[in-house]
Amino acid sequence: MTRFAAPISESIWDMKYRLKQADGTPIDQTVEDSWRRIARSLAQNEAEPATWEERFYGALENFRFLPAGRITAGAGTGRSVTLFNCFVMGTIPDDMGGIFDMLKEAALTMQQGGGIGYDFSTIRPRGADVKGVAADASGPLSFMDVWDAMCRTIMSAGSRRGAMMATMRCDHPDIEDFITAKSDPARLRMFNMSVLVTDAFMDAVKADGPWELQFDGKVYHTVEARDLWNRIMRATYDYAEPGVIFIDRINAMNNLAYCEEISATNPCGEQPLPPYGACLLGSVNLARLVSDPFEPGAALDEAELDALVGTAVRMMDNVVDISRFPLPEQAQEAQAKRRIGLGVTGLADALLMVGQRYGSEEAARLTEHWLHRIARAAYRASVQLAREKGAFPLFEAEKYLASGSLPHMDEDVRAEIAEHGIRNALLTSIAPTGTISLYAGNVSSGIEPVFAYAYTRKVLQKDGSRSEEEVIDYALRLWRDKHGDTALPDHFVDAQTLAPADHVRMQAAAQKWVDSSISKTINCPEDIDFDSFQDVYLQAWEQGCKGCTTYRPNEVTGSVLSVSESEETSPDIDRGADVIYLSEPLDRPKALEGATYKVKWPDSEHAIYITINDIILNGTRRPFEVFINSKNMEHFAWTVALTRMISAVFRRGGDVSFVVEELKAVFDPRGGAWMEGKYIPSILAAIGGIIERHLISIGFIEGEGLGLKSDPEAERMTAGERPKGPACPSCGQYAMRMVEGCRTCMNCGHSKCS
C-alpha cells in the first residue's frame, strides 16, 4: 500500500525529495526510506540516537510533521548543501568594493540553495556625489540589476533557482524608482520586492503630512506622504508588487530586540532576519491531526498536537548543529541565536473538517487558539532543551522576557524560561508550503484558504497519448469518502470567493502567536476598486499584521477568470490548463530534422554554432534538443552545460518558450554588442535570440511572442476553472498562481520560493 494520497504527491517526492545517485538511480526506494534517512540524520548528535531516531520517524510518518524542502531533500545525503531555507545577507556597504563582496557572498549562498534577502537602503541614491572620482552615484536600483543577473546564472542545489527579496526604506531618496521598478516586465524578475514602512510614515499618511526622503542625514526631496503611499498602492494594484513590511512593528515585536536590528526579510517575508541571519523551516500538518473529521464531534487532537510540536522543535534544533552554511558568518549567527521557524500547513482543511468556514469570526478564534497552543508547546519544548543542552548563547533572562512577544506569553511559560533559559530565541513562523503541501496529499497550503478543491492534471505519455489525473484537495477527498458526491456544505469556501477582509482576519489571528512573521497572500477580486484595495493594507496595519502581500488578477499579473455561459461545469472541479507536460522525458528517435545557426560575437576569435533538432508529436513540430559548439576552449564548459540543460527542458514537453525569455534577459556586466542593428546584452542573449528565431520558423511560437501558438479562444476559461496564470517554467502548464508571497505551480508544485 502506498502512503501517498495522490499520484501528484508521489511525483513530487520522486522529483524533489527522493535521494538518487548521480545517474538518477533511486537510493530511497520508498517514502519510508526518505523518512528514515531524515530521522537518522537529525538524531545523530543526540546522546541516545537510536531512541530519538524512532521518535523523529514517528513525527514524519504519514506526513504529520513536514520539514521544509531543504531538510527533506538534503538531510542524510552527505551532500554539501545547506539545510537552512533562508538567509538575510550582511549589510551592504556604500562603496564599490564592498558592494561586489556582498554580491560574491550572495552567489555562494544561492549556490548551496539558500534564498536570500537584502536591504538596499544602505546604498547612496542615484545622482549623489561619489567622493574621489568626480562622478555621480548610479543608485541602488542599478546594483539590484547586477544581483538579478547573478541570480539568473546560479542554479541552486537540487533543481530550483534561488529566490531573492529586496527591501528599501520608505524614506530613501530612490524609493519612487524602487516602487515602479517592476512595471518593466523584463526587469528584476528574480526579486520579490517590499517597502519597509515605518510607524512615522503611517502617521504621516494618516495626517496627510509631508515626508522627507533622506540619506546619510541629507534631505534630498520632500514629498506628500499620502502621495507616496498612493504610489506604493497603485504599483501593487497593477503589478502585485511591491509588498509592504511594517518594519517598526517587526523590530518592536522581536524577541531579540535587545541585541539585533532587523531591516530585511527572506524571500517570502515570513522570516525577518538581522545581517547574516538564517532560519530553517518546518510545518505541522493540522489536516492530519483532526479526529472524526466531518462528524459532529470533530476536533483537533490537542494532546497529539502538543507532543508533535515538542518533537518537531527538537528535530529543528538539531538541524542547527548538523547543517552546513555557505558562509562562516551565517553559521556563527545561527549558533548564537538558534532561531527556528515552526509553522503549520493544512489549516483551511482542518477548519473544514471541524465545520468552520475559513475567514469567519469563529474560524479566526479557533485559529488563534490552535496557534497559541502551538506557541506554548514550542516554547516549553525549547525550555526543556535548554535544561538538557543549554540556552542559546545570547540569552539574557531579564532582557529576553521583556522583549518582543514574551510579555504576552503565558505566565507559567515565562517562569520556566526565567528559571531554565530557552534553547531557541525565536520558534514560530508561517512559511510557504506550496510544494510540501502537495507532497503531503494536497492539503491546503500554510494558513491559506483552499485555492481549488479539485482540478485535472494532464500528462503526456511517451507514446504521445494523454492521460488525466484528478488532483483533489485532502479535505474534499475525506468528504467524498464519507459522503460520496453529495453537495458540499456552505463552509467549503475557496480563495476566489472570500472577501479580502476574511484573509486579513485570518492572518491577524495567526500573527498573535507567531513570533516571526507570516507568508500569506491576500487574494483580491479583479474588479476591486482602488480605495477598497488600499483599505486592505490599512486593515492589516490596524489589526497587528507585520506585513501585507496582495494579489489582484489582471492583464499584467495574469490569472484572469472569464466565464462562459454556454458550458456547464461543476463549481468544485477545475478543468486545468490545456498545456501538458511529459510524465517522463521522450526517447530520442534515430533521425531528427533540424537547422544549424552561426553566431559571431564581436571581439571573439571563434564563432559559436547552434544546432536545433525538432520532433513531430501529434502532428506538431516542436524543439527536441540543442547542440552548442565553439572552438574557443574558454566556452567549452558553459556551452556543454547549456546544451544539456536546454535539451533536458525541451524533452520534458509543455511550453518551453520560457528558455528564450530567460536567455535573452541575461546581460554581461562587461558589456554587450550591436548585432544586425540591435543591442544584444550578452552571448547568452544572442543564443536565446537564435532559439527564438528557430521556434518562430517552425511555428512553435508566434512572432515576437513567447507563448505557445494557439487558438485565440485558448485563453478563455469557463466557470469553475482555475484562473490562468503564466506558464510554469518546470512543467509548462498555465498553472502558476500567487500564494504565500510567491508564484507556485498548481500542477507540479514548482516554486522559486519553497
443, 346 in Cβ contact below 8 A?
Answer: yes
**Cis, peptide link before residue 407, omega less than 30° from 0:** no
**Per residue in 597-611, is it b (16+ CB within 10 Å) or e — as a string?**
bebebeeeeeebbbe
Other Cβ atoms within 10 Å of 617 Cβ, number = 14
Other Cβ atoms within 10 Å of 586 Cβ, number = 20
CA angle 216, 252, 512 (to 5 degrees): 145
- What grid cell was written down for 223? 514629498
- What grid cell was written down for 389? 543542552
User: Is 424 annotated in the active site?
Assistant: no
Secondary structure class of 662 (helix, strand, coil):
helix
Beta-carbon contacts of residue 553 (< 8 Å; ≥ 6 apart): 526, 559, 560, 561, 723
Compute the distance between CA of residue 190 and CA of residue 145 in angstroms, rounded to an integer.
10
Q: Of 192, 254, 266, 285, which one is the catalytic site residue?
A: 266
Q: Of 53, 105, 270, 448, which one is the catalytic site residue?
A: 270
Q: What are phi and psi of 427, to 5 degrees?
A: -130, -25
Q: Identify the bridge partners of residue 166 per DSSP, sorted by sequence position.
A: 118, 193
Beta-carbon contacts of residue 718 (< 8 Å; ≥ 6 apart): 563, 564, 567, 569, 575
Element (H, E) at 135: strand 135-136
Q: What are phi and psi of 290, to 5 degrees?
A: -90, 125
Nearest to 639 by CA among 672, 667, 606, 614: 606
For residue 454, how far is the Cα from the chain centroid?
23
User: Is 266 annotated in the active site?
Assistant: yes
163, 740 in Cβ contact below 8 A?
Answer: no
Q: Of 151, 268, 548, 745, which one is the catalytic site residue?
A: 268
For residue 407, how far is the Cα from the chain centroid?
31
Burial of 257 from C-beta contacts in 10 A (0-12 / 13-18 / 19+): middle
369, 375 in Cβ contact below 8 A?
Answer: no
Nearest to 432 by CA among 283, 316, 241: 283
DSSP per residue over 423-437, as a string?
Answer: S-S--B-B---HHHH
Nearest to 243 by CA among 728, 735, 740, 737: 740
Compute the distance between CA of residue 598 and CA of residue 604 in angstroms, rounded to an integer.
13
DSSP per residue over 682-729, as a string?
Answer: -HHHHHHHHHHHHHHHTTSB-TT--SB---GGGG---TTSPPB-SPPT
**Per residue in 175-193, is it b (16+ CB within 10 Å) or e — as a string?**
bbbbbbbbeeeeebebbbb
User: Is 629 annotated in the active site?
Assistant: no
Compute the distance between CA of residue 498 and CA of residue 450 in angstroms, rounded to an integer.
10
Compute the distance between CA of residue 554 and CA of residue 560 in angstroms, rounded to an integer.
6
Compute the distance between CA of residue 126 and CA of residue 138 in angstroms, rounded to an integer.
5
Q: What is the DSSP letter of 14?
A: I
CA distances from 573 to 140, 454, 486, 725 (A): 46, 5, 14, 18
Secondary structure class of 12 (helix, strand, coil):
helix
Q: Identify the bridge partners of residue 608 per DSSP, sorted by sequence position.
A: 599, 630
Residues annotated catalytic, as ranges: 266, 268, 270
